[in-house]
Each structure stands twice: as structure tokens, then as C-alpha cells.
A and B are shown apart, each in its own frame.
Chain A
């Protein structure tokens, strides 16, 4: 067996990232706390290198490696590049925050890089085992990240909850995988797909397996009723970790759904559509309604995430090419918005103080009109108000749903987005219509201020010119 036989070149980005992370790990051991900037820079370099290799790796359609358990396709390439870019943004946002909150130590970067490696493996998974491998690498790293602030009881509690519930979900997923293996005799997703298409799969174990797999997927996505961990984890984790959890793993979750439900079990659309419909509707309802009651911004954004997951699932539910493209578009757009929103919370924090309560945003327009405006753009975008990019995300998923005959879901979805608009508006109202109760100012970190501004403007620019990203997704995810 040689590397050529394995076609290992397709996994070059992952291998490079693994190697680079190990190098960062080794270097970090010898650094003192005041030298962590080196870890930070090396981590960014690792991301840059991985991104360059990924960009070089142009593939024409699906190319397989490691005996069909690893796939590289144009959609995967875009998702990976996007995850790498998002990771870089997360690092830039986190650096000053970690320093300021005295969360020194290079572990944050290392754990994040390992989690990212898990995300990339998941994106390229074409067998159930590869998928599980990536998922566990991601999950274990994030459990540790949530507990990163050892002295915070809330973080410890959140990590514990996350770990216990996550372990159960992993168990469910693994159980479902074993069922599917039993029903089809293969862990290779392409083979599973052809067995199902030929009608040779054992239907009962297949259906049971599918249900369990969906439980696992729903948990990772944070869809209702498997969302219980999400608000506690978002609130309890240090904001830089919430920033990570709230953004990049969503790309992985989308990849999981794409590889598993669409590519692997697409022929069973009828079987899983009703289950996904329930998840989507419940997530939209619970997420939007419960977010209204929140006074903690991180918690509010957690419920908002749940509702966005519901909207993404509407695209998946449609099951058509337009629906999957819409879901991918929504996912990427959501990542941009979530990065901006959590970035703003980080920007307004200072030593021993997190601007995580809604009240902390009161009167921001008076002190910092520009960043109030950035937050305004992100909030209106999340609410789905044009010309911001969140609007188009909703249009494409609802359009796909209507086209596939789920008009009632689209109507329900737009109604719930009106309910959702209220809590986003409340943030704007606090920033613009109220006077300040606490003196919160943006932190002094020019690199971060610049990037948050770019992030906010991206929400506007992608909204004014949504064409290119939509076309790109249309080409990498053909029917």
C-alpha cells in the first residue's frame, strides 16, 4: 500500500494542519505567558498554510481517497476554506480578549486547531467511520474549550452538561450507524446510497438507524428538542469560546447533513423529511419565542441560533438541489453574522467584565456610533431585514421550501421571523433609544476593531451583492 494508492494527496490540508498544530503544541510548551503572541502568530500561520494548500487543491467533481472513506469535492473545498477563514477571524477576535480576561496559555489555540481539524475531516467524510472520527475530534476539543476558564463555576457546569449530553448524542449516533451498517452491510456512504437505491437494504433496521442518526445530527446542530445544552453552553463558556462554538461547528453540522442525509440517504428523503420537518418547526418556534424572554445577550443569541438552525433545516427538508444550496448559503451567512455578533460582545468587554447583558448595550450609539451601527447591521441581518445578507438566506430556503411544496412551512417560517424580529429590534432599541446605565466602551485592539468593522460591512456588502456567493454555491453543489 503506497500513498499513491491511498490517493493521500487529497487529504494534504488535513495532514498539514495536523502537523502544524503539533508544531505549535511543541513550541507552546517552551513559551512563557507573555510570549503567547508567538502561539497566536504560529496558529494563524498554520491556518494560512492550510488555506493555501486547500486552495491549490482544485478538484473536478468528487475525488476519493483512503479507499473511498475520504472525499474531496468542490463543495467541501469551499466549506473548508470558509471554516479556515472563520477560524482566523475567531483567533483575531479572541487574542485581546484572552489577554484581558487573564486566560493565558496557548491551549485555546491548540484546542481550536484540533477542533478545526475535526471539522475538516467531517467535511470530507464519505464513510460513517470517518464522519464519527471527525465528529469526536471536534466534540472532545470543544468540551475542553468550554471549561477553558477553570475558575468559573458556570463554565465548569456548562462543560459538564455539554459533555454528558454530547456523549449520549454520540452514543445515539454510533448506535444509528451500527444499525445502518447492519441494514446495508457497509459503512461507505456511496455504497449505502446504492444499496438503498436498489431496494436491498433491510427496511426496519434502516428506519431505526436513520432515527438515531438524526438524533445525533440534531444534537450537534442544536435543533429542538435536542437543544438543551446550547443556551447553557453559550452563556457559561468564555465569550471567545462561544464565538467558536457559535460559528464553525455549524459548518461541520451542515457537512454532516450533506454527506449523510443528502448524499448518503437522499433516496430515503420521504422517510426523514417528516422528522426533519418536526425538528425545523420546533426549532423555529422554540428558538424565536424563548429568545424574547432572555436578558443575557449570549443566551439570547443561543436561542437565536436554535431558530436559525430551524431555518437551515427548512432548506434541508426541501431535499432539492435548491434546498441544499439554500441551506449551505444560510449556514455560511449565519457564520458571518454569528462571528460579528459575538465579536461585538467581545469588543465591549473589559477585564473582569463581559458585556453579555442586553443592558450593557444601552446607549452605545452615544459612545461609539460606528460600532452601534455595526451591531445594528448584524441584528437586522439576523432578523432577515433587507438589504442585509440574512434576508437572502431566508429567501433562498423559503423559496426552496415553496418550490418543493412546503408552502405552509414557509408561511410559518416568515411568521416566526416576525416574532424573532422583536428581540433583535430590542438590541437596536437599547443601543439607540436608551441612555447608558454602565459605561461600556470598545476595547483598545485596533486589529480587532478593524476586523469587526469589516465583518459588519460584509453583512451589508453580501446583502447588496448576494449574487457571487449564491452562484458559487450553485456551481459547487450542482443538482
Chain B
């Protein structure tokens, strides 16, 4: 493939236009055949997008931290805004995660979504393109456009196909994230007035005083902490997750939360290194609260989706912890690998959490489709009626609890390892997740899967069909593969993480 082939653009616009094509097809071909074509077209587009994204992995130059697959065109001449795309080791795995999850979401909705399936598929496809745009945009304004535009399809997905309190949940979701983002916009514009362009790479080298850095840091924090979400701005997430349809929850947990984490490594750390260093105690504190306190909150949940939502917050706490221990790790041991382990661990945790939480939400979706309940109390002894399903659920639960051999272990282990080089107590508190995570996940499994058949509804359950099996099997393979052999993923991000740390260590003052 020629090096100037606009691969990233293709990955962004193929699903977007594909989504529009799905809508158009739905209008022109109503009726049975039309519906079937709509389903297959949506699947074809999402699979094609995934297939096209594979070269990102195979042709990726692992030796450099420079941007690759770069496309740069002047977009808004008046303000020197560029249509500037490119990926490095930090963003490429997230692009792949996006293209990997979306086909699974399409398949999982196959017969489940009966109300306006075309709009459902179109919303997910368009959102896929926009999310890839977020991960590959290297121009601040372009990034912001993708970042915000993505809210529109998600707003509709939760609002149209969600549960009883869907309107409340989706408006809360939208306003919360919108409120966080606008501060980022102001600081992007501010940096534009200083540097004369919106290039993110330009922002990385922009000299900024400590006051400016602190204000910009908090502006970014408002945007990214809401997305991650970090305690105490996490309250939109349980609502959004519970009310969203299965696919919405999957995308929300698997991809959208990662944008917050990605934002920290792409913006906060390199643009405001000194403020990040001065305020790392705050970030570490919030992360540890997420890990420990939210872990306890998860323990108390009666609703399976809520439980997984809280477990997501706790797991994402690891991501932010890994990113912000770098300064303490450097200070303790300048030659040590603590910082490297922290950032790598955070990145691996993002990918792993994308797979595991997505799988967990799909599992809950499988049960919800049959029982129309997410209450743990309504289940019990599912293994007796759905043995195949129970096997998958237990596997994903183990991964969620961070069992070695699954992807969940790798990220958490790396972050804890890195934390030891920063401060023993960070590692100690982070380590409680191994207990807490196991407790809330396995306790849920015990109540839902094992034991006697709880009631007649559970007795009437039918095991997963081939379609559901396919989706869960693909995810199970990915979780195991990443768990036993994470080296390729770490290798891909190695150069970029090293480059990032090199940059972060240099004070801008």
C-alpha cells in the first residue's frame, strides 16, 4: 500500500457514509427484504472497516514515535486549521479497538433491535467513524469537532432505544460531557491565539507559564475526567449505562471512556507537563478513590449493568493512576522503569477494559433479551439452563477481576508494578482492587450463575444461539490472547510511550 494512501480518512468516512447509505436504503426499500439488506449492509460496512484497519497494525513502524499514516490538508484557511490526521503507538491500538468492537455491536443487535433498526445501525456506524476521527485527529479543532459530534449519535442511541428513564439518562450524559468539553475548547482557542495554529504537535512544544499551564490543565481535566469518568464527576455513567441499549453500553464502556484516557496522554501530559507534575497528587488521589471507593460501591449494586458500570470507573482509575505516577516514579528513580510501566500499563488497561467491559455488557444484554431484567435477584442457577453462556460469563468475570492469563491482569499488574516505584502506598491501595474486583465480580457471578435454578423464568431460559456464541467467542479469544501474549501490543506502543515520557520530563518553564 502506498504510503500516501489516505487510510485514516477512509476509516473515518467509510462508516460515516456507510451509515448514511443504510439510512437511504431504509427509506427506499421498506419491507422485509429491505430490512434484511439493511442488516447485511451495516455488517458489511463495519467488517470492511475492520479489514481496512488491519494494515494500520501490520504496516506500523514500531521503531519510531513519530506520527504515521499522516494526512495533512489545509481545512479552514482563515484560522490555519488543518485536516491533520495521523496515529502513533498510543492512538493506533485504540483505532483498532474501535473497528474491532463495532462489528460485534452490529451482530449483537441483529434480531434484538426491532424498533427502527436502520437508524440504530446508522447511528453506530456514524459514531464509529467519528470515534476513529477522535483518535487520529492531530489538529485541535478537528479533534474537538469529532469529540463533540460523537455525542449526537450517542444521545440518540440512549434516548431512542434505551430503558425507562432513558431521557433523563441521555440528557444528563449529553450535558455533563458537553459542559466538560467547552472548557477544553476555550483552552484550545487560547493556545491557538498563542501559536497561530491548532496543531496538537505544535501545542506540545508551546512554551507556557505555570499559571497558564495550571488553568489549561484544569480545563482539560474537566473534559477528560468527565469522559473517563473520574470520581466525583462519574455520576452520569451509571445512569447512561443502565438506560442505554446493549450496544450503546458496549460502545460507551469499550471506546468512549477511552477517549478520556487518551486525552490525558495526548493533551494534558505533553502540553502541561509542569502543571501535571505539580498536580499529580490530585490525579493520583482521585484515581485511588475511584479504585477503592468505587470498588466498594460496586459491591453494593443490585443491578448488573450498574455493577459493571461502577467496575468500569474503578478500572479506569487504574488508567489515570498509571498515567500520573510518572512524575513520582521519575523523582524516586530517574533511571527506573516505573514511569514506563505506568503509562504502558494504563494503555494496556484501556484496551483490555475495552474488550472485557464490552463483553460483560454483551453478556448482560444476552440475559436481558431473555428475561427483561437486569436485577441480580431475578437470576440464579443460570449455569443449569445456559451452560455455554455461563462459561463465557465466568471467563469474562475472571478477566474483569484481573485473573492472570486474561487481559485484565496485564494492565493492572503493570500499573501496580509501576506504582511501587512511585510510592508504596499507591501500590498498596491500588492492589486492593485485586480483592475488591474479585469480590464484586465473583459475588455477582455466584448469585447469577451458580446455585439452584432460582425461579421458573430462569428454568425456561434457552442457551445462546450461534450469533451470540460468535460474538462472545471472538471477544473471549481476544481477552485470552492479550492475557497470555501481550508483548505485541506493548511493543507497538513502546516507542511512543518512551517519546512521550522524554517529552514530559522536559519542563516548559
Interface residues of A (CB under 8 A from B): 365, 369-370, 376, 380, 385-387, 391-392, 395-396, 398-399, 402-403, 407, 410-411, 414-415, 417-418, 421-422, 425, 428-429, 432-433, 466-467, 470-471, 473-474
Contact = CB atoms under 8 A, between A and B. Distances in A.
Contacts of B76: 392, 466-467, 470
A395 B119 contact: no
Contacts of B148: 385-386, 391
B119 A369 contact: yes
Contact of A411 (B77, B144, B186): B186
Contact of A433 (B151, B152, B167, B190): B167
B110 to A, nearest CB: 22
A224 to B, nearest CB: 22
Contact of A429 (B23, B27, B171): B171
Contacts of B179: 415, 418
Nearest to B156: A432
Contacts of A415: 179, 182
B151 A407 contact: no
Given A433-B159, A474-B78, A425 B174 contact: yes
B282 interface: no
Contacts of B178: 385, 418, 421
Q: How large is the interface on B (under 10, 10 to 19, 20 to 34, 35 or more residues)?
A: 35 or more
B198 to A, nearest CB: 10
A11 B384 CA distance: 88
Interface in B140-160: 141, 144-145, 148-149, 151-152, 155-156, 159-160
B234 interface: no
14 contacts: A385-B148, A385-B178, A386-B149, A395-B189, A396-B79, A398-B185, A407-B186, A411-B186, A414-B183, A417-B182, A421-B175, A429-B159, A433-B159, A474-B78
A387 B27 contact: no
Given A380-B152, A432-B159, A467-B78, A398 B186 contact: yes
Contacts of A365: 119, 160
Contacts of A432: 156, 159-160
A467 B82 CA distance: 10
A376 B192 CA distance: 30
Nearest to A398: B189
B432 interface: no
Contacts of B151: 385
Given A399-B192, A470-B78, A425 B155 contact: yes
B193 A403 contact: yes
Interface in B158-177: 159-160, 166-167, 170-171, 174-175
Given A386-B144, A403-B193, A433-B159, A422 B175 contact: yes
B75 interface: yes
Given A398-B189, A399-B192, 17 more contacts: A386-B145, A386-B148, A396-B79, A399-B79, A402-B186, A402-B189, A402-B190, A421-B178, A422-B171, A425-B175, A428-B155, A428-B156, A429-B171, A433-B159, A467-B75, A470-B77, A470-B78
Interface in B202-251: none
A431 B372 CA distance: 26
Nearest to A434: B167
A403 B191 CA distance: 10
Nearest to A396: B79
A414 B183 CA distance: 8
A276 B145 CA distance: 30
Nearest to A394: B185
Given A380-B152, A385-B151, A387-B149, A395 B185 contact: yes
A434 to B, nearest CB: 8
A153 B160 CA distance: 40
A429 B148 CA distance: 18
Contacts, number: 92
A407 B190 contact: yes
B169 to A, nearest CB: 11
Contact of B145 (A391, A410, A467, A473): A391
A400 to B, nearest CB: 9
Given A386-B149, A425-B155, A471 B175 contact: no
Nearest to B159: A433
B119 A410 contact: no
B182 A414 contact: yes
B171 A414 contact: no
Contacts of A474: 78
B387 to A, nearest CB: 39
Task: Pick the most buried of A398, A422, A429: most chain B CB atoms within 10 A of its CB.
Answer: A429
Contacts of A396: 79
Contacts of B75: 467
A369 B122 CA distance: 13
Interface string B301-341: 00000000000000000000000000000000000000000
Contact of B160 (A395, A399, A433): A433
B487 to A, nearest CB: 39
B39 to A, nearest CB: 18
**Leading 7 A-B pairs by shortest Cβ distance:** A414-B182, A386-B145, A470-B78, A433-B159, A467-B76, A418-B179, A399-B189
B23 to A, nearest CB: 8
A288 to B, nearest CB: 13
Contacts of A407: 186, 190
Contact of B182 (A380, A418, A422, A473): A418
Contact of B79 (A376, A411, A470): A470
Nearest to A411: B186
A419 B257 CA distance: 24
Contacts of A471: 77-78
Contacts of A395: 141, 185, 189
B77 to A, nearest CB: 5
B146 to A, nearest CB: 8
A376 B185 CA distance: 23
B145 A387 contact: yes
A396 B182 CA distance: 14
Contacts of B79: 396, 399, 470
Contacts of A387: 145, 149
Nearest to B147: A386
Task: Pick the most buried of A386, A395, A403, A432: most chain B CB atoms within 10 A of its CB.
Answer: A386
Contacts of B183: 411, 414
B193 A399 contact: yes
A410 B119 CA distance: 36
B41 to A, nearest CB: 17
Contacts of A376: 152
A139 to B, nearest CB: 34
A319 to B, nearest CB: 15
Nearest to A422: B175
Interface in B7-42: 23, 27
Given A421-B178, A470-B78, A385 B190 contact: no
B215 to A, nearest CB: 9
Nearest to B76: A467
A155 to B, nearest CB: 35
Given A399-B79, A402-B186, A385 B152 contact: yes
A337 B160 CA distance: 25
Contact of B27 (A369, A421, A422): A369
Interface in B120-155: 141, 144-145, 148-149, 151-152, 155
A170 B75 CA distance: 44
B152 A410 contact: no
Contacts of B186: 398, 402, 407, 410-411, 414
A432 B193 CA distance: 39
Contacts of A411: 183, 186
Contacts of B192: 399
Contact of B166 (A369, A399, A433, A467): A433
A421 B189 CA distance: 20
Task: Pick the most buried of A380, A411, A432: most chain B CB atoms within 10 A of its CB.
Answer: A432
A467 B77 contact: yes
Contact of A410 (B74, B78, B189): B189
B197 to A, nearest CB: 13
